[in-house]
Amino acid sequence: MCGLQVSFGDFTAVQDLTFEVQRGEFLSIVGRSGCGKTSLFNAVAGLLKPYAGTVEYRGDDVSGRPGHAGYMLQRDHLFPWKKLLDNVVIGLDVLGSNRKASREKARALLPRFGLEGFQDAYPGQLSGGMKQRAALLRTVLLDRDLLLLDEPFGALDAITRGELQAWLLDLCDELQKTVLFITHDVEEAIYLSDRVMVMNGPPGHIADTVAVDIPRPRHFADVVTSQRFTELKHRLLDDISAGRTA
Amino acid sequence: MTATDVQAPAGPSRMRRGAQQAGKSVRLLPAVGLFLLLLVGWEVYVQVSGINSLLLPPPSAVAESLWTDWQIYEPELLVTLREAVFGFLLATVVGIGLAIIITSTKVMRLAVYPLVIASQAVPIIAIAPLLILWFGFGETSKVLAAALVAFFPIVVGAAAGLDSLDSGAVSLMRSFPASRSQVFLKARLPNALPQIFSGLRVGAVLAVIGAIVGEFVGADQGLGLLLARANSMLQPVTVFACIVLLALLGMVLFLCVVVVEWLVLPWRRGGQR
């Protein structure tokens, strides 16, 4: 059981926001840009000490104390001076793990992340999709049960994005992680998630929470053409536009 | 960018690297060609116009002097080389150190940066006599003059580089969690290297100028001294020979930095230009 409670008093970013995420759950947060989603993530990751309220992880107060979550930011932030393999193990290197063992572990996962044969490539030689997969591999290698993914596919073209969404769905099934996923794409949120929260603001607050009762495994074309999908999408879009007039 | 843009890191890119190097030597041609053309034009002009060779000696005479009197130039060249190199190395250490201090906190930036700029606003020619007064006619005062001129672009380049790390990269590092010193050593410093090297390239050339200015003001050895003496004794061939050697000296130091940069920053070799 992984219980998370976040509440803030900082009016500029996020205000009085409370939610929980269950272990193994895929929870998406949708909202327009600037509504405080990334501030929320920085607080959940322990990078930002909340002005008021607490972040709890498995019963411990982790406010302002990073290290419990694997955090993938909007941009890949692969370091241009490191080869791919050294880039994906940087977290383990920082934590002082055995360098050789971490590289072996990473090498074994390259095929699953579609990066086989590119371990010696510099980020400048990789495509956008590969960089995002490498950034995700870097996050996964930390071996944290909680993953924070902040618009991981935001910067990609539609085709690459679709491919990566399906791939992520499979991967999450396999890894059994708890995932918090930020996006401004409602379809992506429904397709991937167990639950979707709509965040409006600023100041950021939860406008609605919707359980996605579409059975898994999900096939993209089937899901997005189903009636349930359309109903959910309609409700979420209404929630988001209600936030604009407010 | 799509998947088709990806190049395998093995064979093809190495071939492309070879092609790039061939391309670089082709790019040298215009500079060499123009240089030769100017030399020929100068030689012809001196021969045809019959200009007083005290005003403008022909390049052939300069080359001949360099060749026959090399034992005069060599020790002076080595002195100036040593001054410039030590000055440059001192400037590198001090410059990068100051940049680290400047970028460490806001207070430090506000306190130190204005003084760094003030040190450059005063021309080296005004400070050099003081250096000679304090440190004597030997090489120390010239090393300091060279360092004083060369450190400025190094500070500015390094400070800009250290500031240029994306805040997202800092968040990423801290989420692991990485300590402040790990963020600095594993992200901020390597991220700054390209801009540090830009500063070093400029600094290398300026170090030669600093050393020469120091020698002009007061020295017992060095190319600058030789040049100043030759000038007052109406020996234009020697003056020109010194100028040629100084130009070469600056270019060689510059190239040394470029070579080190090439070795240290392997990821910058292909593509990004």
Q: Domain ends where: B36, B51, B66?
A: B51
Q: B168 and chain A: CB distance < 8 Å anywhere? A: yes
Q: How many residues does chain B have?
A: 273
Tokens of B160: 């800009």
- A73 and B172 within 8 Å at the Cβ level: the answer is yes
Closest chain A residue to the Cα of B265, Cα to Cα? A81
User: At CA A149, angle to CA A143 and CA A150, rounded to 5?
Assistant: 150
Write down the pLDDT at residue A7. 59
- Residue B210 counted as domain residue: yes
- A127 and B267 within 8 Å at the Cβ level: the answer is no
Residue B24 sits at φ, ψ, to 5 deg, of -65, -40
Mean pLDDT across A194-217: 87
Contact B118, B58 (CB under 8 A): no
- Residue B78 counted as domain residue: yes
Write down the pLDDT at residue A246. 52
| Residues of chain A neighbouring B181 (CB-CB closer than 8 A) | none
Write the secondary structure of A97-139 as one string of H (helix), E (strand) and C (coil): CCHHHHHHHHHHHCHHHCCCCCCCCCHHHCCHHHHHHHHHHHH
| Residues of chain B neighbouring A142 (CB-CB closer than 8 A) | 176
Query: Of the segments A1-10, A48-57, B118-127, B184-193, which one has the largest average pLDDT value?
Result: B184-193
Q: At what angle do helices B139-163 and B189-217 cross, to 10 degrees?
A: 150
Give the best residue of B171, B175, B186, B188 to mutate against chain A (max A CB count within 10 A).
B175
- Residue B229 counted as domain residue: yes
- Residue B183 counted as domain residue: yes
- Residue A6 pLDDT grade (very low, low, confident, very high; cuts 50, 70, 90): low
Same domain, yes or no, for B173 and B217? Answer: yes
Answer yes or no: is the ipTM higher than 0.85.
yes
Same domain, yes or no, for B76 and B167? Answer: yes
- A117 and B8 within 8 Å at the Cβ level: the answer is yes
Contact B230, B142 (CB under 8 A): no
The CB density around residue B273, as the number of other CB atoms within 10 Å, is 6
Contact B167, B227 (CB under 8 A): no
Q: Render pLDDT for B102-120 as a digit per residue (tens, 0 to 9).
A: 999 999 999 999 999 998 8
Mean pLDDT across A158-162: 86
Of A42, A94, A120, the CB nearest to B186: A94
- Residue B16 counted as domain residue: yes
Mean pLDDT across B118-130: 91
Write down the pLDDT at residue B236. 92
Same domain, yes or no, for B7 and B39? Answer: yes
- Determine the Cα–Cα distance for residues B98 and B113; give it in Å rounded to an integer: 9
Burial class (CB in 10 A: 0-12, 13-18, 19+), B186: middle
Q: Render pLDDT for A164-176 as a digit per residue (tens, 0 to 9).
A: 898 888 888 888 8
Same domain, yes or no, for B162 and B236? Answer: yes
- Residue B19 pLDDT grade (very low, low, confident, very high; cuts 50, 70, 90): low
Write down the pLDDT at residue A201. 75
User: Which of A15, A22, A69, A18 is CA-nearest to residue A39?
Assistant: A15
- Determine the Cα–Cα distance for residues B43 and B23; give it in Å rounded to an integer: 31
Write down the pLDDT at residue A163. 86
Q: Which residue has the higher pLDDT, B224 or B22?
A: B224
Write down the pLDDT at residue A121. 94
| Residues of chain B neighbouring A129 (CB-CB closer than 8 A) | 2-3
Contact B141, B132 (CB under 8 A): yes
Mean pLDDT across A145-158: 88
Q: Quick check: B9 pLDDT over 70?
A: no
In A, what residues contact B, Cβ < 8 A? 42, 45-47, 66-67, 69-71, 73-75, 77, 79-82, 90-91, 93-95, 117-118, 120-122, 124-130, 142, 157, 160
Q: Is B46 left (phi over 0), alpha (psi -120 to 50) or beta?
A: alpha
Same domain, yes or no, for B30 and B155? Answer: no
Q: How far is A236 from chain B (nearest CA, A)?
A: 29
User: Which of B265, B259, B257, B138 is CA-nearest to residue B201?
Assistant: B257
Same domain, yes or no, for B150 and B42? Answer: no
Mean pLDDT across B136-157: 95
- Determine the Cα–Cα distance for residues B228 and B212; give it in Å rounded to an integer: 10
- A77 and B168 within 8 Å at the Cβ level: the answer is yes
Same domain, yes or no, for B26 and B144? Answer: no
Give the best residue of B176, B191, B265 to mutate against chain A (max A CB count within 10 A).
B176
Mean pLDDT across B116-130: 91
- Residue A245 pLDDT grade (very low, low, confident, very high; cuts 50, 70, 90): low
For the CA atoms of A128, A134, A135, A138, what is the dihedral angle to 10 degrees? Answer: 180
Give the best residue of A71, A78, A79, A87 to mutate against chain B (max B CB count within 10 A).
A79
Q: B12 and chain A: CB distance < 8 Å anywhere? A: no
| Residues of chain B neighbouring A69 (CB-CB closer than 8 A) | 175
User: At CA B272, angle to CA B269 and CA B273, rounded to 5?
Assistant: 95
- A94 and B176 within 8 Å at the Cβ level: the answer is yes
Same domain, yes or no, for B40 and B67? Answer: no
Write down the pLDDT at residue A38. 85
Of A66, A80, A142, the CB nearest to B174: A66
Same domain, yes or no, for B129 and B26? Answer: no
Mean pLDDT across B74-78: 95
- Residue B233 counted as domain residue: yes
User: Which of B188, B3, B167, B166 is CA-nearest to residue A132?
Assistant: B3
C-alpha distances (whole Å) from A166 to each of A110, A162, A218, B193, B269 are 18, 6, 9, 39, 36
Write down the pLDDT at residue B1. 38
Q: Between chain A and chain B, how many beta carbons pairs sit less than 8 Å apart?
A: 87
- Residue B273 counted as domain residue: no
One DSSP character per residue, B159-225 reads: HHHHHTS-HHHHHHHHHTTPPHHHHIIIIIHHHHHHHHHHHHHHHHHHHHHHHHHHHHHS-SSSHHH
- Residue B2 pLDDT grade (very low, low, confident, very high; cuts 50, 70, 90): very low
- A157 and B2 within 8 Å at the Cβ level: the answer is yes
Burial class (CB in 10 A: 0-12, 13-18, 19+), A59: exposed
Q: Domain ends where: B51, B71, B90?
A: B51
Closest chain B residue to the Cα of A66, Cα to Cα? B175
- Residue B170 counted as domain residue: yes
Least confident of B8-17, B91-100, B148-157, B160-169: B8-17
Share of chain B above pLDDT 70, in %: 89
Write down the pLDDT at residue B10. 44
Q: Render pLDDT for A69-121 as a digit per residue (tens, 0 to 9).
A: 999 998 999 999 999 999 999 999 999 999 999 999 999 999 989 999 999 99
- Residue B21 pLDDT grade (very low, low, confident, very high; cuts 50, 70, 90): low
Least confident of A207-221, B11-25, B27-41, B221-235: B11-25
Write down the pLDDT at residue A202. 72
Write down the pLDDT at residue B11. 42
The CB density around residue B252, as the number of other CB atoms within 10 Å, is 13
Of A71, A77, A127, the CB nearest to B6: A127
Q: Domain ends where: B19, B34, B51?
A: B51
Tokens of B120: 């450059």
Same domain, yes or no, for B43 and B23? Answer: yes
- Residue A60 pLDDT grade (very low, low, confident, very high; cuts 50, 70, 90): confident
| Residues of chain A neighbouring B184 (CB-CB closer than 8 A) | none
Same domain, yes or no, for B100 and B165? Answer: yes
Q: Give residue for tokens 């409670």.
A: A5
Q: What's the total number of domains in chain B?
A: 2
Residue B7 sits at φ, ψ, to 5 deg, of -110, 140
Q: B270 and chain A: CB distance < 8 Å anywhere? A: yes
- Determine the Cα–Cα distance for residues B127 and B130; give it in Å rounded to an integer: 5
Of A47, A93, A125, the CB nearest to B174: A47
- What CATH number is associated with residue B242? 1.10.3720.10
- Determine the Cα–Cα distance for residues A25 and A23; give it in Å rounded to an integer: 5
| Residues of chain A neighbouring B7 (CB-CB closer than 8 A) | 125
Same domain, yes or no, for B148 and B175? Answer: yes
**Domain membership of residue B39 as a residue range:** 1-51
Least confident of A81-95, A167-181, A183-197, B13-27: B13-27
- Residue A2 pLDDT grade (very low, low, confident, very high; cuts 50, 70, 90): very low
